[in-house]
Structure 1
Amino acid sequence: MKITVITVGKLKEKYLKMAIDEYSKRLSRYCKLTIIEVMDEKTPEQMSISQEMIVKNKEGERILKHIKDNAYVITLAIKGNMLSSEQLAQHLNHLGVERNSNIVFIIGGSIGLSDEVMARSNYNVSFSKMTFPHQLMRVILLEQVYRSFRINMGEPYHK
């Protein structure tokens, strides 16, 4: 299975980079993982709705350039489906059985994803009703993908 994570913005914090490296190493046993960072737009504090749309659209164009036609796209969105770890594992396993082995996860920037990216999405998932920094979501996502593979392989995992 090929897992691609497309994310807006560069990761700067060393401790987050170390966590990403650790989960990337762990995931290498189960899948081919690629992480693509697209440039984020500057977002002033007081933005109008039209300015927000412009920012989302620019970031969205950068994201969409990296998605192949045969990819199954899962967007991380606050209004997405809330799943347990077991349900995410089951969903990923089901995709593998259906031969959808090219899975792309998308983590948007600080103001979310464009309508075009959401329209390209096959499935929306929410990790919480809370808002998390998008840099931290990379770590949380990779941990949950790793946990999903462990569950699907019948291997022990921390409950």
Structure 2
Amino acid sequence: EVADEKIPDNASEKEMEQIKEKEGNKILTKLPQNSFVVTLCIEGKEHSSEELAKKIADISMTSSHITFIIGGSLGLSDTVKSKSALRLSFGKMTLPHQLMRVVLLEQIYRAFKINNNESYHK
């Protein structure tokens, strides 16, 4: 986890891009080596719970570590997105990044239940 950068009131587009890049650089320093990187971004691909479960199972066959990246209030920098092996979207609606953590965690939990043929998923 990295701290959000302060966003000045009435920030210009250029200032917002600079803030995203600064946050992005901090994120990139935290990425583990040889991790499968998944970014959550609005332009990503949507998956059903079953499709996400299969994707996680497939990734687990080739990588021992998956890193999910959720952007700050302004989203993710293009630099961070370019490091992503999978861009994932939970829809076109904008959600607070703090809430997105809970949604993502629930979907990962659901995926493991699906992959283990357990009854959580309905």
Name the TM tier (shorter chain). over 0.9
1:79 match: 43
2:116 match: 153
> Structure 1: how far apart are the matches of 2:58 and 2:100?
23
Matched, 1:54 2:37: no
Contact 2:114 2:121 in 1 (8 A): no
Q: Secondary structure at the match of 1:38?
A: coil
- State how 1:14-25 maps to structure 2 within 5 Å: none
1:141 match: 104
Shift of 1:53: 1.1
> Structure 2: how far apart are the matches of 1:45 and 1:77?
24
Structure 1 counterpart of 2:68, one-letter code = F
1:44 match: 8
Pairs aligned (count): 122
Shift of 1:96: 1.1
* Deviation >4 Å, runs of 4+: none
Q: Percent identity?
A: 52
Structure 2 counterpart of 1:94, one-letter code = D
The structure whose residues are more often strand, as a share, is 1
Matched, 1:122 2:85: yes
Shift of 1:58: 0.8
Q: Secondary structure at the match of 2:30?
A: coil
CA RMSD of aligned residues (A): 0.9
Structure 2 counterpart of 1:149, one-letter code = F
Which runs of 5 or more residues in structure 1 are unaligned?
A: 1-36
